[in-house]
A and B are shown apart, each in its own frame.
Chain A
Amino acid sequence: MAITSIKNLKDFSTNNDRFEGAHTLCPGCAHSMIVRELMNCTDDNLVISTNTGCLEVSTAVYPFTSWDTSWIHIGFENAATAVSGAEAMHKARKRKGTLKDNDAPVKFVAFGGDGSTFDIGFQWLSGAVERGHDFTYICLDNENYANTGGQRSSATPIGATTSTAQAGSHSYGKKEKKKDIVAIMAAHGAPYVAQLAPNKWKSMAKGFQKALETEGPCFINTVSPCCTEWKFDPKDTIGITDLATDSLMFPVYEIIDGHELNILYRPKNIITVEEYMGAQGRYKHLFKPEYRHVIDQVQKDVNEYWDYLQRREEARV
């Protein structure tokens, strides 16, 4: 076990530079912060696979790579399977003794966006978790297909406008509820499932560490605000994430062994979803009087979900 101690952000941020800054992600994109937090929270060897998406196309553009560790990308849907194949090979080779350093700890990690996790790659994720490979899957949830220009995904919340769920005179944007991916993955019986946020960096790093140290398949959904498609100033990424966690649009919590739920962040002052939405261009149309009911509906949903999480935490079931 080689866990890095987390004392202060400055030390932590320079701990273990295995992800180079010279990538081509948008300024203000939270993906790189999340990847860095993952790679800085452990000293173990890492095998990382990445689905096709913003992270992939921005970090391994031949002849360059941002990854100073083993890294593989196959397709849009199969990062979970690529890493489970590598994990199986690690087991086989460890048994045969054909590894260079047979005892060095190795951790297997897959990254996907919400498109490749909630939608196109869901089958591959579900299969890999069911098979019980020892890996951690991290979904960088920016609630749209950002890499192809901001289409709706099943992670897009009600009321957001996207390039394929347009708001207009006859539509308030996306009409369907966001898929509850955390509950779905917890229902797979994964030993550690969590929803984390990069502004709560300590709980994020601790969550990552728990996932890496837990044997078996672990799943983490992280909010990753997208300044391009959510339409906010790139300098405001963490500020927007604060609004996301404080409005409880993105509650931060973990589920252990599919049932034990712990809330990891409890806002002192819960803000309204209106405040969160008002800071982003993708919800601008909702502030017309005719769409007021959508904001009210989202607020009602958020309140109910927060109540549900608290009841589950209290009940310990």
Chain B
Amino acid sequence: MAEKYDLQEREVWDGNFAASQALRQAQVDVVAAYPITPSTPIVENYGNYVANGYIDGEFVMVESEHAAMSGCVGASAAGGRVSTATSSQGFALMAEVLYQASGMRLPIVLNVVNRALASPLNVRGDHADMYLGRDSGWIQLDAFNAQEAYDLALCAFRIGENHNVRLPVMVHQDGFITSHTAQNVYPLADEVAYNFVGDFQPVDDMLDFSRPVTYGAQTEEDWHFEHKARQHKALMDSRPIIDEVFADFEKVSGRKYNRVETYDMEDAEVAIVALGTTVETARVAAKELRAEEGIKAGVVAIRCFRPFPFDNVRDALENVKSVAVLDRSSPGGAMGAFFNEVSAALYTTANRPLVTNFIYGLGGRDFSIAEAKRIFKEQKAHADAGYITTDIQQFSGLRGPTLGFFQTKRG
């Protein structure tokens, strides 16, 4: 039995500590991990809880992130609760095994503290790693602050381990901005949290020898297509279950989550679509602009990046005149990845809003309220003109001359 951990009703935690507390309360059986900044404290804390008896689990300190995810896959197939954490290059090194974890339908929870991808080497936050994982078949949830990093990690176990889902889940938080900034966090009591997550109920347990299982078989053209189609279906079918888990979480915590979060969108004329800590910055900017200049600004935030909430994004934005989609990742010779997804959702609306793409905040570059206001004002100009008056893709917050791409015909 695990030792009792002394927990206050209100704690001052950073995002890493918050995520590790969720691992403790869920009594994760195995963590296989390799440290990388800025996610390191999550697994260090797990090791600390094991060393002091707060968790009755096994901490396997492997020799690389590729091995970390490989160990997690083996452990998860052996029928218990499994988790780990990583960032950036570590995430990239794991990438091969991410596909195997989802293909084998193993409900591993991976806390990804988002960070830029080298080169140049950079330890600060951006979303390059999040987008690298977007086709790996994992559910991807995004926490915008430390409280959410804790809440969503608990929800992630419950979602992934649901027998109708059986998929691995990533919980993202912004490197340093969330992971290393202490905030007030209201944890659940240990029993409440554990009861919410529930006992692990294995499916196809390698340690149940009465029913041997083969994991990771080979398929060619005869079956591979069907497997991948079924896997996609499982991801799409997880949407109502994610909603259900969020609703249950509201019952125990009073905190309500949605796959798409909307702020001040009821009468919004212009909107910013964003992820992570940027959402709070954009919200403040929208509120202030409404008060100062009467611009009807709103924010749409994607809580669940995979499965992508296509319908909800469309519903949230279809009555808006102009939309800015903010990508915190280098686009690499295209429109931003996030822009492409949001645009695809909007393409099917009757009233197609004007959409522009801002690349911002790479490698931890600060994103300010003033910058968000400037973007809102630019959207207002598009809305008034009835067409896009600037370049469709711009680098915002870059030193030196403004970089813009993909001009409009009318501009």
Contact = CB atoms under 8 A, between A and B. Distances in A.
Interface stretch (A4-12, A69-77, A259-267): A69-77
A45 B77 CA distance: 16
Contacts of A91: 58
B57 A92 contact: yes
Contacts of A89: 29-30, 58, 74-76, 78-80, 82, 207
Given A84-B71, A89-B74, A73 B215 contact: yes
A89 B132 CA distance: 29
A85 B77 CA distance: 9
Contacts of B63: 123-124, 126-127, 130
B64 A82 contact: no
Classify chain A: how many residues form its interface, as a range: 35 or more
B401 interface: no
B214 A86 contact: no
Given A65-B214, A72-B216, A127-B67, A84 B74 contact: yes
Contact of B97 (A72, A75, A84): A75
B60 A90 contact: no
B82 to A, nearest CB: 8
B58 A100 contact: no
A92 B32 CA distance: 13
Given A81-B67, A89-B74, A92-B30, A70 B58 contact: no
Given A85-B30, A104-B209, A74 B74 contact: yes
Contacts of A98: 79-80, 200
B212 A57 contact: no
B206 A127 contact: no
A61 B222 CA distance: 10
Q: Which of B64, B66, B218, B219 lies at the interface centre, i.e. has the most chain A CB atoms within 10 A of its CB?
A: B218
A72 B212 contact: no
A127 B74 contact: no
B210 interface: yes
B96 A75 contact: yes
Interface in B55-104: 56-58, 60-64, 66-67, 70-80, 82, 96-97, 100
A130 B74 CA distance: 18
Contacts of B73: 72, 74, 82, 85
A88 B214 contact: no
A256 B214 CA distance: 33
Contact of A88 (B32, B66, B67, B215): B32
Contacts of B218: 56-57, 60-62, 73
A201 interface: no
B31 to A, nearest CB: 9
A99 B208 CA distance: 7
Contacts of A82: 70-71, 73-74, 77
5 contacts: A69-B212, A74-B216, A83-B74, A89-B79, A106-B207
Interface of A: 45, 47, 49, 56-57, 60-63, 65, 67-75, 77-78, 81-86, 88-93, 95-96, 98-101, 104, 106, 123-124, 126-127, 130-131
